[in-house]
């Protein structure tokens, strides 16, 4: 602490020797002794400093001690300063009374005893010091009181301003203690969160005791998430919190609120609690939902427009693809009918008609397949089959087209005797045939197509097929299956990078313009993709770009255990029926279409059969009973009585052996469900139109034994 300043003592005497004597007596007190030889000089000293005590001589020239004392008492600053009169002439009571009346605190007669003077002055010095200390404390207290009053006034103003702002705030405001329990909420908060305790209820302790929080207003469906994030915020000491939740609501409108909070820390870095806001964002959420709905509708509309445009393009391509072969068929048929062609041209015309008719047949089959795929009606007959044999059969089917373009076909089929998979042999042949046909179609003359079979233990994650798998399928085993992998790579036109992701989409072609160089409906690869997925396999395409060739890979899970191969379907049987294979066989044909009826009669009679035809199902019933044919060929869709009703009537109303006559359905209904319906109604076989002569003869031989 700094050293305290010495106390001032004023010594007034007209005799310098007296002043020296006083100074000698009082020197040990450590006071600042100010000496003055006249009243006027003493008054000037009082104007400059404050004194703890004045020792004043009474007898002085010009102005005696009493006059000086009178002037001292008239001045407010020195009116309470203690005065001790010093005199050497009178000690009468009247004289002393005059001195005391002027405010003297003592009256000493000269010569003065040093010890008495010293003790008296020391008392006044100590009294002055205590009085000065008290005065300073009083001034400090007054100053602090003034400052506190100013602070209180400012706090009151600030609090009023806060209450006004809080009451008028467009967002809810809440304040919590350090545990996260609310101690203050503004009116807007109570409006957004109805049922919440008011501020008066919170500050009196009810809220603190119940642990009330903004969480009490959160919708039950969002409460768990809100509690989790809020608890984590309180425990981790994060600076800010911001979340959006649904609120409890008694109405049909879903209400939303945005919750924000921050830590409150004093200037002394003391953690006080949390302050936060609650904002009703229901309108914003409704606007966002409406905007999202508009975006979804726009996307759906754009997708529908794209789909419609693709379908329009498909219809245009379909019209072109159907009319083009039809033009050749009708044109050459008219020339044949005119009878003006030489034998070589007649053979060329017949080949052209057959080739274009087969092309139309393939188009129709593709359309029917896609129709069944879209409706989820495409069915498979899964059996253990040899993928090597199926691939060889498909390859032999496209070999003539490849030879015509001098395209080299290379295989590694000789590396495998058998690769057994569970699947539909006809559909798997269709998959491979489609891929080979495309490879040959899009490969220029003297190009190359490589067909490579292999076994892989697993597929990359992005290539793994998705379920569901049948109970007896390849995933029934606990271990993952190995895969038979067929890769068909060509040196053809390739696939553009932007089209590659859409290569298996329905109704989409890389080029659907009228200037396209290749035909087709763009359905083959979509059918391939669906059929492979139905076999729990996967198919993918690769290409380095246009004019860089392309490769298609089919992966099918291998059968878990070897099993004997079933007989191949009729279309895969290698042996052809011999000429006149039906010699002498009585056959009844029931068909309401004249052209089809005549064609069937011609084909069967060419094989030596004895054919009877009728256009009526009722007439057919009579002929079965009277002629007793060996086999019945019957159309399904006929007037008056359809083929199903005819066969059921034969089975239930005729006697043996007529009731057991083998029956073959001849129909344009070519779906697998149609085949199943025919078999369940009493037919032994089902042949879809158009019918190939070889398939017809083979089927008749099968059903007749």
pLDDT tens-place string over residues 197-211: 555 444 444 444 345
What CATH number has the domain bearing residue 663?
3.40.50.2300
Residues 470 and 332 in one domain: no
Q: So what's the pLDDT on residue 671?
A: 67
Query: What mean pLDDT comes out for the span 679-688?
Result: 88
Task: Give the CB-side neighbour count of residue 667, counting CA atoms within 13 A.
Answer: 25
Residue 295 lies in a domain: no
Cα–Cα distance for residue pair 663/655, rounded to 1 Å: 16
Residues 364 and 399 in one domain: no
Q: Is the pTM of this model over 0.75?
A: no
Taking every pair of Cα atoms in the chain, the longest distance, rounded to a whole number of angstroms, is 187
Structural domain span for residue 547:
382-571
More confident: 461 or 166: 166
Domain boundary among 342, 371, 400: 371
Length of the chain: 705
Tokens of 603: 């084909």
Q: So what's the pLDDT on residue 565?
A: 44
Cis omega before residue 126 (within 30°)? no
pLDDT at 489 over 90: yes
Tokens of 208: 């603190």
Please give the DSSP secondary-structure letter assigned to residue 702: H
Confidence of residue 566 (pLDDT cuts 50, 70, 90): very low
Please give the DSSP secondary-structure letter assigned to residue 414: G
Number of CB atoms found within 10 A of residue 601's CB: 18
Q: So what's the pLDDT on residue 1?
A: 42
pLDDT at 525 over 90: no
Tokens of 140: 């400090």
First vs last Cα of the chain: how many Å apart?
Answer: 131
- Label the pairing between strands 610-614 and 182-185: unpaired
Tokens of 241: 């919190």
Cα–Cα distance for residue pair 361/357, rounded to 1 Å: 6
More confident: 374 or 345: 345
Residue 391 lies in a domain: yes
Highest mean pLDDT among 162-176, 196-210, 451-465, 618-632: 618-632
Residues 532 and 584 in one domain: no
Domain boundary among 538, 554, 571: 571
**Residue 507 buriedness (CB in 10 A; 0-12 / 13-18 / 19+):** buried
Query: What mean pLDDT comes out for the span 34-51?
Result: 87
pLDDT at 472 over 50: no
Q: So what's the pLDDT on residue 325?
A: 73
Confidence of residue 416 (pLDDT cuts 50, 70, 90): confident
Confidence of residue 590 (pLDDT cuts 50, 70, 90): very high
pLDDT tens-place string over residues 139-172: 888 888 888 888 888 888 877 877 777 777 788 8
More confident: 521 or 120: 120
Query: What mean pLDDT comes out for the span 359-384?
Result: 72
Confidence of residue 612 (pLDDT cuts 50, 70, 90): very high
Residues 327 and 452 in one domain: no
Residues 329 and 416 in one domain: no
User: Among 290, 286, 287, 264, which Cα is nearest to 275's?
Assistant: 264
Query: What mean pLDDT comes out for the span 206-229?
Result: 76
Residue 326 lies in a domain: yes
Residues 411 and 488 in one domain: yes
Q: So what's the pLDDT on residue 92?
A: 62
pLDDT tens-place string over residues 171-191: 888 888 888 888 888 888 888
More confident: 340 or 400: 400
Residue 290 lies in a domain: no
Q: So what's the pLDDT on residue 463?
A: 65
With H, G, I as helix, E, B as strand and everything else as coil, classify residue 508: coil
For 323, phi then psi, to 5°, come to -75, -30
Number of CB atoms found within 10 A of residue 18's CB: 21
Residues 548 and 586 in one domain: no
Q: So what's the pLDDT on residue 495?
A: 87
User: Among 30, 3, 39, which Cα is nearest to 11's?
Assistant: 39
pLDDT at 430 over 90: no
What CATH number has the domain bearing residue 365?
1.10.287.130
Residues 179 and 217 in one domain: yes
Domain boundary among 571, 594, 627: 571
Cα–Cα distance for residue pair 44/49, rounded to 1 Å: 9
Confidence of residue 468 (pLDDT cuts 50, 70, 90): very low
- Label the pairing between strands 256-265 and 271-280: antiparallel
Residue 163 lies in a domain: no
Question: Where are the alpha helices (H) located in 339-486, listed in sequence order?
Answer: 343-374, 387-404, 425-441
Sequence-distant (≥ 6) Cβ neighbours of residue 266 within 8 angstroms: 272
Q: So what's the pLDDT on residue 664?
A: 93
Please give the DSSP secondary-structure letter assigned to residue 423: E
Confidence of residue 570 (pLDDT cuts 50, 70, 90): very low
Confidence of residue 551 (pLDDT cuts 50, 70, 90): very high
The angle formed by the CA atoms of residues 486, 488 and 493, to the nearest 5 degrees, is: 160
Residue 160 lies in a domain: no
Query: What mean pLDDT comes out for the span 3-21?
Result: 83
What CATH number has the domain bearing residue 249?
3.30.450.20
Cα–Cα distance for residue pair 613/598, rounded to 1 Å: 8
What CATH number has the domain bearing residue 451?
3.30.565.10
With H, G, I as helix, E, B as strand and everything else as coil, classify residue 106: strand
User: Among 547, 331, 297, which Cα is nearest to 447's?
Assistant: 547
Query: Cβ(550)–Cβ(543) under 8 Å?
Result: yes
Residues 18 and 72 in one domain: yes
User: Among 467, 639, 642, 624, which Cα is nearest to 538's?
Assistant: 467
Residues 585 and 567 in one domain: no
Confidence of residue 196 (pLDDT cuts 50, 70, 90): low
Task: Give the CB-side neighbour count of residue 345, counting CA atoms within 13 A.
Answer: 11
pLDDT at 574 over 50: no
More confident: 64 or 208: 64
Residue 1 lies in a domain: no
Sequence-distant (≥ 6) Cβ neighbours of residue 187 within 8 angstroms: 167
> Which segment of 46-50, 313-317, 395-399, 691-695 scores lowest on mean pLDDT?
313-317
Cα–Cα distance for residue pair 45/239, rounded to 1 Å: 65
Q: So what's the pLDDT on residue 198?
A: 55
Residues 531 and 612 in one domain: no
User: Among 675, 677, 643, 647, which Cα is nearest to 661's?
Assistant: 647
Number of CB atoms found within 10 A of residue 19's CB: 19
Q: So what's the pLDDT on residue 648?
A: 92
Q: So what's the pLDDT on residue 579?
A: 63
Residue 285 lies in a domain: no
- Label the pairing between strands 172-176 and 271-280: antiparallel
Q: What percent of the chain has pLDDT over 70?
A: 84
Number of domains in the chain: 5
Residues 232 and 353 in one domain: no
């Amino acid at each position: 602490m700094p050293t305290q300043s010495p106390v001032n003592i004023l010594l007034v005497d007209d005799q310098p020797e007296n002043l020296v004597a006083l100074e000698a007596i009082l020197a040990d007190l450590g006071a600042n002794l100010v000496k003055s030889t006249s009243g006027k000089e003493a008054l000037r000293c009082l104007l400059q400093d404050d004194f703890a005590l004045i020792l004043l001589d009474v007898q002085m020239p010009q102005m005696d001690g009493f006059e000086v004392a009178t002037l001292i008492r008239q001045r407010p600053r020195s009116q309470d300063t203690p005065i001790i009169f010093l005199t050497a002439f009178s000690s009468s009571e009247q004289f002393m009374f005059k001195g005391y009346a002027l405010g003297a605190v003592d009256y000493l007669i000269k010569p003065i005893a040093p010890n008495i003077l010293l003790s008296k002055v020391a008392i006044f010095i100590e009294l002055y010091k205590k009085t000065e200390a008290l005065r300073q404390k009083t001034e400090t207290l007054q100053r602090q009181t003034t400052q506190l009053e100013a602070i209180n006034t400012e706090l009151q103003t600030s609090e009023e301003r806060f209450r006004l702002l809080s009451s008028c705030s467009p967002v809810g405001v809440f304040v919590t203690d350090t545990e996260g329990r609310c101690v203050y909420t503004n009116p807007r908060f109570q409006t957004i969160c109805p049922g919440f305790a008011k501020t008066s209820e919170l500050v009196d302790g009810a809220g603190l005791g119940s642990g009330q929080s903004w969480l009490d207003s959160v919708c039950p469906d969002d409460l768990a998430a809100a509690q989790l994030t809020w608890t984590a915020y309180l425990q981790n000491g994060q600076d800010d919190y911001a979340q959006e939740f649904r609120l409890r609501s008694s109405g049909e409108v879903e209400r939303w609120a945005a919750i924000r909070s921050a830590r409150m820390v004093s200037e002394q870095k003391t953690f006080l609690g949390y302050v936060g806001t609650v904002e009703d964002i229901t309108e914003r959420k409704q606007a966002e939902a409406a905007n999202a709905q508009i975006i979804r509708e726009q996307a759906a509309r754009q997708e529908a427009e794209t789909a419609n445009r693709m379908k329009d393009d498909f219809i245009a391509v379909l019209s072109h693809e159907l009319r083009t072969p039809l033009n050749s068929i009708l044109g050459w048929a008219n020339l044949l009918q005119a009878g003006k062609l030489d034998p070589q041209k007649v053979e060329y015309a017949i080949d052209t008609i057959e080739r274009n008719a087969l092309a139309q047949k393939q188009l129709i089959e593709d359309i029917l397949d896609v129709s069944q795929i879209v409706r989820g009606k495409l069915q498979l007959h899964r059996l253990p089959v040899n993928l090597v044999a199926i691939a060889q059969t498909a390859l032999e089917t496209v070999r003539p087209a490849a030879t015509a373009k001098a395209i080299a076909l290379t295989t590694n089929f000789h590396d495998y005797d058998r690769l057994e998979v569970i699947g539909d042999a006809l559909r798997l042949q269709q998959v491979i045939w489609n891929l080979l046909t495309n490879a040959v179609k899009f490969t220029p003359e003297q190009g190359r197509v490589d067909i490579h079979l292999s076994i892989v233990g697993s597929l990359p994650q992005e290539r793994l097929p998705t379920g569901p798998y049948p109970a007896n399928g390849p995933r029934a085993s606990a271990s993952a299956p190995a895969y038979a992998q067929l890769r068909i790579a060509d040196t053809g036109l390739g696939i553009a990078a932007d089209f590659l992701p859409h290569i298996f989409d329905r109704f989409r072609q890389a080029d659907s313009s009228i200037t396209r160089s290749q035909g087709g409906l763009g359905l083959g690869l979509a059918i391939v993709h669906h059929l492979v997925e139905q076999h729990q396999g996967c198919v993918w395409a690769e290409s380095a770009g246009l004019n860089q060739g392309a490769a298609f890979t089919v992966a099918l899970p291998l059968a878990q255990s070897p099993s004997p191969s079933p007989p191949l379907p009729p279309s895969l049987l290698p042996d052809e029926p011999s000429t006149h294979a039906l010699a002498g066989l009585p056959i009844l044909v029931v068909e309401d279409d004249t052209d089809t009826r005549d064609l069937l009669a011609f084909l069967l009679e060419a094989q030596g059969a004895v054919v009877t035809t009728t256009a009526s199902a009722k007439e057919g019933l009579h002929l079965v009973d009277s002629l007793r044919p060996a086999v019945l060929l019957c159309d399904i869709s006929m007037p008056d009585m359809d083929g199903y009703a005819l066969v059921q009537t034969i089975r239930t109303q005729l006697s043996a052996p007529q009731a057991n006559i083998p029956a073959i359905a001849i129909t344009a209904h070519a779906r697998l469900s149609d085949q199943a319906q025919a078999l369940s109604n009493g037919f032994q076989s089902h042949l879809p139109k158009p019918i190939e002569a070889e398939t017809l003869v083979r089927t008749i031989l099968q059903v007749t034994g």
